[in-house]
Structure 1
């Protein structure tokens, strides 16, 4: 017997706080400066600084959050639901992704799953 959409929605709702806390931890780790500096001494204005001109995390890096979705929800994070360009904050990412993940989890949004890579025959 397979779970109904309501059953799946309830199961997602039970996991959402864990999902959010793990996404927050993942985001903090991914956006932390490599050298530990906070960037407050970076030039600003018209001086040509690239600090703060783009998103905090781009959409290609967000795909790596699949480690969280796989662990908490046992599903991959589909690239199709990630906002092109990325997110300027963790809150923006969570507000965008979590409702979409619920729809994927319950089957409301169908996403393409990649076909397994065919391994070449040994010579």
Structure 2
């Protein structure tokens, strides 16, 4: 039985708080890994830090959040919906990704199907 668009919207709405909590936890762990490697005694010139010039999480690393979307929504995080360059904050990421995930979930945005490992041809 296929669920209607409205049923899918309701199902997504029921999972949003779990999804957001999972994404927040994932983001905090990812940022902590970066910040933990920076020496606090490193010199800081007036030009600022090279780390401050980059987004907190780049778009390639956001793909790792698919563990959250698979667990909560039972779907991969499509690379097509991730903002190129990444996100400066967790709130920025959630504000961008969650509405797009809903559109993918209900079928408003069509994404390419990925080949399973069995279907992939050897290099």
Q: Which TM class, normalised by the smaller chain length?
A: 0.7 to 0.9
1:32 corresponds to 2:41: no
User: CA RMSD for the aligned pairs?
Assistant: 2.2
Identify unmatched segments of 5+ residues in structure 2.
none
Count of aligned positions: 120
* TM-score normalised by the chain length of structure 1: 0.87
Query: Structure 1, residues 55-83: CA drift from partner, whole Å, max 9, x if none?
Result: 00000000010000000000100000000
Deviation (angstroms), 1:116 = 2.4
* TM-score normalised by the chain length of structure 2: 0.87
Report if aligned partners of 1:39, 1:51 keep a CA contact under 8 Å in 2.
no
- In the alignment, which residue of structure 2 is the partner of 1:82? 82
Moved over 3 A (4+): 33-42, 117-121
Tell me the secondary structure at the aligned position of residue 45 of structure 1. coil
Larger helix proportion, structure 1 or 2?
2
